């Protein structure tokens, strides 16, 4: 049975900084009222120490729900986010205050982002990544093939647990690709914390393109299996869906 209770309580868990406390006051209440979230296996979240969370991406709104789940699990999330967001007045300052990490994709500056993430992990922080890089375009909503950034971080940060978080539900009510926003009835969303992904076979290997792609494939297939459990469907047996920004979304894509 899913665990519904929250692990965060006064005096318990990782402390929220001033920026996070402000976000909690402004967003936490409304999101709790707008969305009905169910958590599974919340006890699998490490109470302390560095953690890399990899999560499938089903809706533009789901990062907020992932953040809520992590806060409820008594940890504080730190996301990779587009560098342009940090240039927005007030928002950028809040993002930095919360410890999020700016990323400029497709440039050498992305390496600096990875270094910042490694530094955060060495300080015992929790980092969240969406390996797909965008909301899934798989026609059936399954996790797609991922980008290699999460794999690179996992292999740079030796012995840090990599934990998959599968999610499903809110995309039926909040889908910007289909221009669908429906908040009545109250959208339901389920998030499930999986078991740490075993990367021991790759720890001493050189970070070649082949190795990074293999580790990324391993992460995304685990997420696909965990999403299948949430959907109560068999996991697809074929290749992960691959999408590029130059192709049109398939008809009916999530």
Q: Decide if 6 is inside a domain.
A: no
Closest C-alpha to 192, from 240, 157, 227: 227
In a domain, 237, yes or no: no
pLDDT tier, 22 (very low <50, low <70, confident <90, very high otherwise): confident
The dihedral sign for the CA sequence 84, 242, 225, 201: negative
In-domain check, residue 144: yes
% pLDDT > 70, the chain: 89
Determine the pLDDT at residue 86: 87
Specify the residue for token string 């391993």: 218
Q: How large is the average pLDDT for residues 120-138?
A: 95
The more confident residue out of 5 and 170 is 170
Confidence (pLDDT) at 10? 47
The pLDDT, as a whole number, for residue 233 is: 97
Q: What are the angstrom distances between the C-alpha of 15 and each of 5, 93, 122?
A: 19, 19, 17
Distance CA 244, CA 254 (A): 15
187 neighbors 35 (Cβ within 8 angstroms): yes
Non-local (6+) Cβ contacts of 208 within 8 A are none
157-216 pLDDT, tens digit per residue, is 988 999 999 999 999 999 998 889 998 999 999 999 999 999 999 988 999 999 999 999
pLDDT of residue 217: 98
Of the pLDDT bands very low, low, confident and very high (cuts 50, 70, 90), residue 107 is low
Residue 122 belongs to some domain of the structure: yes
How far is it, in rounded angstroms, from Cα 226 to Cα 170? 16
Per-residue pLDDT band for 244 (boundaries 50, 70, 90) equals confident
Count other C-beta atoms under 10 Å from residue 83's C-beta. 16
CATH of the domain at 221: 3.40.1130.10
**Single pTM value for the model:** 0.89
Mean per-residue pLDDT, 50-59: 97
Asked whether residue 184 is assigned to any structural domain, the reply reads yes
Does pLDDT of 249 surpass 60?
no
Task: Tell the burial category of 251 from Cβ atoms under 10 Å away from its Cβ (0-12, 13-18, 19+).
Answer: exposed
**pLDDT > 80? residue 247:** no
Nearest to 101 by CA among 46, 58, 161, 153: 153
Q: Which domain holds residue 209?
A: 18-231
11 in a structural domain: no
Task: Report if residue 77 sits inside a domain.
Answer: yes
Query: What is the predicted pLDDT for the residue at 250?
Result: 45
Q: How far apart are alpha carbons 141 and 144 in whole angstroms?
A: 8
Q: How many domains are contained in the chain? A: 1
Burial classification of residue 225, based on how many CB atoms lie within 10 Å of its CB (0-12 exposed, 13-18 middle, 19 or more buried)? middle
In angstroms and rounded to an integer, the radius of gyration of the C-alpha atoms of the chain is 17
Identify the H or E element spanning 127. Answer: strand 126-129
Encoded tokens for 114:
């990875």
The string of pLDDT tens digits covering residues 65-77 is 999 999 999 999 9
On average, the pLDDT of the chain sits at 88
Residue 132 pLDDT > 90: yes
Residue 68's Cβ-side half-sphere holds a number of Cα atoms within 13 Å equal to 24
Residue 110, pLDDT > 80, answer no
| Contact predicate 143/227, CB 8 Å | yes
Is 140 within a domain? yes
Mean pLDDT, range 115-122, rounded to an integer: 94
């Amino acid at each position: 049975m899913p665990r519904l209770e929250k692990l965060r309580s006064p005096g318990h868990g990782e402390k929220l900084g001033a920026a996070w406390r402000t976000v909690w006051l402004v967003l936490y209440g409304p999101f709790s009222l707008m969305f009905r979230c169910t958590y599974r296996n919340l006890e699998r979240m490490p109470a302390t120490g560095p953690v890399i969370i990899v999560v499938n991406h089903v809706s533009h709104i789901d990062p907020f729900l992932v953040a809520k789940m992590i806060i409820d699990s008594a940890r504080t999330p730190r996301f990779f986010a587009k560098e342009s967001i940090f240039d927005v007045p007030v928002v950028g300052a809040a993002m930095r205050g919360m410890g999020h990490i700016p990323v400029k994709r497709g440039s050498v500056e992305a390496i600096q982002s990875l270094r910042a993430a490694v530094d955060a992990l060495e300080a015992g922080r929790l980092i969240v990544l969406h390996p797909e890089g965008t909301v899934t375009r798989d026609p059936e909503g399954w996790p797609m093939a991922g980008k290699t950034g999460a794999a690179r971080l996992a292999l740079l940060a030796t012995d840090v647990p990599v934990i998959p978080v599968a999610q499903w539900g809110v995309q039926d009510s909040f889908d910007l690709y289909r221009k669908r926003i429906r908040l009545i009835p109250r959208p339901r969303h389920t998030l499930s914390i999986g078991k740490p992904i075993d990367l021991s076979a790759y720890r001493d290997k050189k970070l070649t393109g082949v190795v990074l792609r293999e580790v990324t494939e391993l992460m995304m297939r685990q997420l696909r299996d965990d999403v299948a459990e949430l959907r109560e469907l068999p996991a697809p047996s074929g290749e992960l869906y691959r999408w590029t920004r130059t192709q049109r979304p398939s008809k009916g894509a999530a």
